[in-house]
């Protein structure tokens, strides 16, 4: 009985304490709401009603009325930058960075955001100036990553190498692929400026940085070819098959031209015929067809494509077959016209219906296959007719597979 009496006395006390706590929370909530400007709630209402422009205007008013709302300033600046309003983003972040009462961590945050604003606006010098002020502290790694992106845009490859090495030490991440590509870019620049010794040195560094880099031997072959050493160039390009056979199609035309310069087109055809029996056939088909057509004529080219259709039927092989057939028909008609005696009183040339049909099929297949084959970035899916070492879409390096995305089958 004593236990029940105790509970009867405790229950009103518990309810009373709960009522007092609820009153305290309610007063605190009312106080907090009263401290916020009405524009803040208007902005939230606009966001909930999917009216972003009006919401931005309302939040700008909040930031004007209450300069202490630094997080709101950062949110507004980032929103302006995403919308492409870089001038407004720069103004917001500049106001923050120049405030004398701003704590140092928030000032560094403002400088980092300002550097991204300048980069997006194309003001590269000012972007570098802002980011260079953050080489130590919590934003150092992020600033260096943006600087690396900036140097790639500016094609300042030596600065990019330095930034990548700093990031490699700071983040403990592997930047060897990027550094090797930067060395290849410098080598290519040296080759264009006719400084082969510098090009070879940069390519040596690229191979040292990343032994798996295939671009370096390709460019070493270009250096040898530019210097008149065709055999040396051919040796470099043929060695790519052993390093990574997937990249052979990138040098196939170079190899054929080198063999032609040495007067050994038969070896070029032998090399191509051997590769056509493997899984690189779709990539090498066009080079093999053009070489066969040039060396042995349309009949041999048609025979080669017919054999390829038996081995690996693809739409591209069928297209090349009908191209060879059409070329053969044109050659036969030309030879017939030259050997025939002129008809008395003139007359129209005889039109071969079969040749017309072959030409029509060729034109249709060419139209169908013209825009099919594309190289595709593994990171962002950007597709292009040309092969790029750096994706134009996401700016990543070596994300393009050397094989086209469509096998044209």
State yes or no: 183 annotated in a binding site.
no
How far apart, in whole angstroms, are the C-alpha atoms of residue 164 and residue 144?
Answer: 8
Q: Is residue 383 classed as helix, strand or coil in its secondary structure? A: strand
Contacts 24+ apart (CB under 8 A), 119-127: 119/146, 119/149, 119/150, 119/153, 120/81, 120/86, 120/89, 121/86, 121/87, 121/90, 124/150, 124/153, 124/154
How far apart, in whole angstroms, are the C-alpha atoms of residue 107 and residue 134?
Answer: 10
Q: Is residue 375 classed as helix, strand or coil in its secondary structure? A: strand
What residues are paired with 390 via a beta bridge?
397
Give the list of residues 6+ apart from residue 198 with CB closer than 8 angstroms, or none: 186, 187, 190
Q: Distance of CA 333 to CAs 338, 348, 361, Å?
A: 9, 14, 18
Q: Which of 127, 161, 159, 120 is nearest to 143 (CA)?
A: 127
Go through the chain and tell me how many residues it has.
Answer: 409
Do residues 315 and 368 lie in contact, with contact meaning Cβ atoms separated by under 8 Å? Answer: yes
HSE of 324 in the Cβ direction (CA atoms, 13 Å)?
26
Q: How many distinct helices (H) and strands (E) make up the chain? A: 20, 2
Phi and psi at 397, nearest 5°, equal: -100, 140
Q: What is the DSSP string of 115-184?
A: HHHHHHHT-HHHHHHHHHTTSSSTTHHHHHHHHHHHHHHHT-HHHHHHHHHHHHHHH----HHHHHHHHH
How far apart, in whole angstroms, are the C-alpha atoms of residue 202 and residue 182?
Answer: 9
Both structure tokens of 26 = 């309610």
Q: Which residues are annotated as a binding site?
A: 377, 380, 391, 394
Q: Which residues are annotated as a binding site for Fe cation?
A: 377, 380, 391, 394
């Amino acid at each position: 009985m004593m236990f029940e009496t105790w509970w009867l006395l405790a229950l009103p006390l518990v309810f009373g304490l709960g009522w007092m706590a609820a009153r305290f929370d309610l007063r605190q909530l009312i106080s907090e709401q009263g401290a916020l400007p009405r524009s803040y709630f208007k902005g939230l209402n606009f966001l909930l009603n999917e009216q972003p422009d009006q919401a931005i205007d309302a939040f700008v008013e909040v930031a004007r009325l209450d300069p202490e709302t630094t997080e709101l300033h950062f949110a507004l600046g980032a929103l302006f930058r995403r919308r492409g309003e870089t001038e407004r983003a720069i103004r917001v972040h500049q106001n923050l960075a120049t405030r004398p009462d701003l704590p140092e961590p928030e000032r560094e945050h403002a400088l980092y955001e300002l550097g991204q604003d300048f980069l997006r606006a194309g003001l590269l010098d000012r972007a570098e100036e802002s980011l260079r002020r953050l080489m130590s502290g919590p934003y150092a790694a992020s600033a260096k990553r943006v600087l690396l992106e900036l140097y790639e845009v500016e094609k300042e490859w030596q600065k990019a190498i330095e930034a990548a090495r700093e990031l490699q030490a700071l983040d403990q991440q592997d930047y060897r692929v990027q550094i090797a590509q930067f060395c290849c870019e410098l080598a290519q620049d040296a080759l264009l400026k006719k400084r082969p010794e510098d090009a070879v040195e940069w390519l040596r560094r690229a191979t040292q940085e990343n032994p798996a880099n295939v671009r370096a031997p390709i460019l070493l072959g270009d250096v040898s070819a530019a210097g008149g050493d065709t055999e040396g160039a051919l040796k470099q390009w043929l060695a790519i098959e052993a390093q990574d056979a997937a990249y052979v199609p990138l040098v196939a035309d170079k190899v054929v031209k080198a063999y032609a310069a040495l007067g050994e087109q038969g070896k070029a055809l032998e090399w191509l015929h051997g590769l056509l029996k493997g899984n690189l056939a779709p990539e090498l088909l066009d080079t093999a067809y053009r070489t066969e057509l040039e060396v042995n004529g349309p009949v041999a080219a048609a025979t080669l494509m017919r054999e390829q259709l038996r081995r690996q039927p693809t739409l591209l092989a069928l297209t090349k077959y009908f191209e060879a057939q059409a070329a053969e028909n044109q050659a036969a008609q030309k030879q017939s016209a030259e050997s025939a005696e002129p008809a008395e009183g003139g007359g129209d040339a005889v039109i071969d219906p079969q040749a017309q049909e072959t030409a029509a099929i060729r034109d249709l297949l060419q139209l169908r296959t013209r825009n099919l084959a594309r190289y595709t970035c593994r990171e962002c899916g950007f597709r292009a007719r040309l092969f790029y070492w750096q994706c134009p879409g996401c700016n990543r390096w070596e994300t393009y597979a050397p094989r086209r995305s469509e096998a044209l089958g």
